[in-house]
């Protein structure tokens, strides 16, 4: 499938082009948590979390509006953004699997703004949801960072070639 510069291989199907690109593009791994309207903890793994600017401090992440977290997210005021490191691969996997089993373990507690905060991650940002832009069956969420926690210093967890790796 690889080629060189002088003979690049076209992928005419744009869905396949996108999939090929994101198999080959590394991303950091985050877990985003919130409360639903009844106060129940909700959360999910995101590989799209990124900075949007430092002054004022802004971040963004993308989410499918078909995800189990969407009904809570689109009504939430606050989110906790956890960045994950090499010790957190099991957390990344859990928060992308069965949504009814994401908060059963003793690896989190309620913290700032009542948000569920997982332990042992690299860092946590506390942020307010500022804008949500719906795009087809997805959304771009833009947040204002108001506070943060320093966690465990460790190598970063990355997602690449459809699997987790240590960066």
The yes or no reply on residue 140 touching a second copy (CB under 8 A) is yes
Q: Which is nearer to a second copy, 57 or 99 (CB)?
A: 57
- The answer to whether 117 and 106 are in contact (CB under 8 A) is no
**Sign of the dihedral through C-alpha 129, 134, 135, 138:** positive
Rounded distance, CA 165 to CA 89, Å?
A: 9
Contact predicate 64/137, CB 8 Å: yes
Q: Does 114 bind a second copy (CB under 8 A)?
A: no
**57 sits near a second copy (criterion: CB under 8 A):** yes
Closest contact distance (angstroms) between CB of 121 and a second copy is: 9
Per CB under 8 A, the list member of 64, 90, 93, 105 interacting with a second copy is 64
22-30, 33-41, 67-75, 90-98 -> range binding a second copy (CB under 8 A): 22-30
| Residue selected from 56, 75, 90, 97 as contacting a second copy according to rule CB under 8 A | 56
Cβ-based nearer residue to a second copy, 36 or 167: 167
How would you label 119-143 residue by residue, b for 16+ Cβ within 10 Å and e otherwise?
eebbbbbbbebeeeeeeeeebebeb
Q: Looking at residues 73 to 112 of the shown chain, list those that interact with a second copy (rule: CB under 8 A).
A: 81, 83, 85
Cα(56)–Cα(74) distance, integer angstroms: 23
């Amino acid at each position: 499938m690889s080629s060189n510069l002088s003979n690049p291989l076209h992928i005419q199907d744009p869905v396949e082009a996108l999939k090929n690109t994101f198999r080959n593009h590394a991303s950091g791994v985050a877990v985003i948590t919130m409360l639903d309207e009844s106060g129940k903890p909700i959360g999910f793994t995101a590989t799209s979390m990124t900075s949007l600017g430092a002054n004022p401090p802004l971040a963004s992440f993308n989410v499918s509006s078909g995800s189990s977290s969407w009904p809570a997210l689109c009504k939430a005021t606050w989110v906790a953004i956890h960045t994950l490191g090499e010790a957190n691969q099991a957390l990344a996997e859990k928060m992308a699997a069965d949504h009814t089993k994401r908060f059963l373990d003793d690896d989190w507690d309620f913290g700032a703004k009542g948000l569920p905060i997982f332990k042992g991650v690299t860092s946590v940002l506390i942020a307010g949801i500022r804008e949500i832009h719906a795009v087809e069956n997805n959304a771009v969420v833009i947040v204002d960072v108001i506070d943060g926690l320093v966690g465990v210093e460790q190598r970063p967890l990355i997602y690449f070639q459809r699997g987790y790796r240590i960066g």
